Amino acid sequence: LRALSSLFNSNITITDTSSAKSALEEILLEFKYPNNIVLSHPVAGSHLSGQENSLKGLFKNKEVILSYSQSVLSKHIEKVRNLWKSMNARISNLESNVHDYVFAHSSHLPHVVSYALLMTLKNLDQTDISKFSGGGLGEFLRLASSSSEMWADIFTLNKENIISAIDALEENLDILKFKINKDNQEIEALLLDLKNFKEENY
């Protein structure tokens, strides 16, 4: 980003497609937040990367999150909004710190869990578990096929929020472990409550 500094505060509109924003905003603040940069995060795609895996209509009816400073000129905001509108995307605004907190839980944590499950399976003595797995395991592990380079960057750029999300997950795993070990009725009640919450919210 610093390599683009010669273009800051110019007539050129600059945007991005990254999944972590606060680290970028810290760099931009070094330059008093240039007035021509609108950060973008299209919430679309799959675990596959590279232009060979591009899809026509990928952004249609998908959410795109914009983050920008009050110092950014409206003409640059409109250019970026129109770019995503031309691909039929839906547009929302979030401040960078809120964006990173939300996506640490909604996107980054699921990838962490997928990698952790794969690590668990890798360390088992039984090496042919894949022969006995249903579709659920493959779907759960699909995220671990994502670009290792990209996800290493995301984990690094948003590490504080991700670590906080992992801490919360560990607490809930302990609750599940306790209830599984204790009483069938208690775990069933918890699972039913979570099932209802999922169906109402996701």
Alpha-carbon distance of 192 to 96, in angstroms, equals 35
For residue 51, pLDDT beyond 80: no
H-only helix segments in 14-134: 22-30, 74-85, 96-103, 109-122
For residue 173, pLDDT beyond 90: yes
Question: Dihedral of the CA atoms 183, 188, 194, 199 (nearest 10)?
Answer: 180
CATH 3.40.309.10 holds for 2-95 = no
Q: Provide φ and ψ at 3, rounded to 5°.
A: -65, -15
Name 158's Cβ contacts closer than 8 Å, sequence gap at least 6.
19, 20, 22, 23, 100, 103, 104, 108
For residue 22, which amino acid is it? S
Element counts in the chain: helices (H) and strands (E): 8, 3
- Nearest 5 degrees, angle CA 154-CA 157-CA 158? 85
- Helix, strand or coil for residue 9? coil
What are the tens digits of pLDDT across the range 176-202? Answer: 999 999 878 889 999 999 999 999 999
Alpha-carbon distance of 20 to 1, in angstroms, equals 13
- 72 to 36, 75, 161: CA distances (angstroms): 6, 9, 26
- Nearest 5 degrees, angle CA 134-CA 139-CA 144? 125
Q: 99-201 in CATH: which number? A: 1.10.3660.10
Predicted pLDDT of residue 134: 78
Predicted pLDDT of residue 133: 81
Sketch the domain layout of the chain as residue ranges: 2-95, 99-201
Share of the chain above pLDDT 90, in %: 81
> Do 2-95 and 99-201 agree at the fold level?
no
Look at 135 and 31; give whichever has higher pLDDT: 31
What are the tens digits of pLDDT across the range 106-163? Answer: 999 999 999 999 999 998 887 778 888 878 888 889 999 999 999 999 999 999 999 9
Predicted pLDDT of residue 172: 97
Alpha-carbon distance of 24 to 1, in angstroms, equals 8
Share of the chain above pLDDT 70, in %: 99
- pLDDT bucket at 14, cuts 50 / 70 / 90: very high
Predicted pLDDT of residue 129: 83
For residue 115, which amino acid is it? Y
- Helix, strand or coil for residue 150? helix
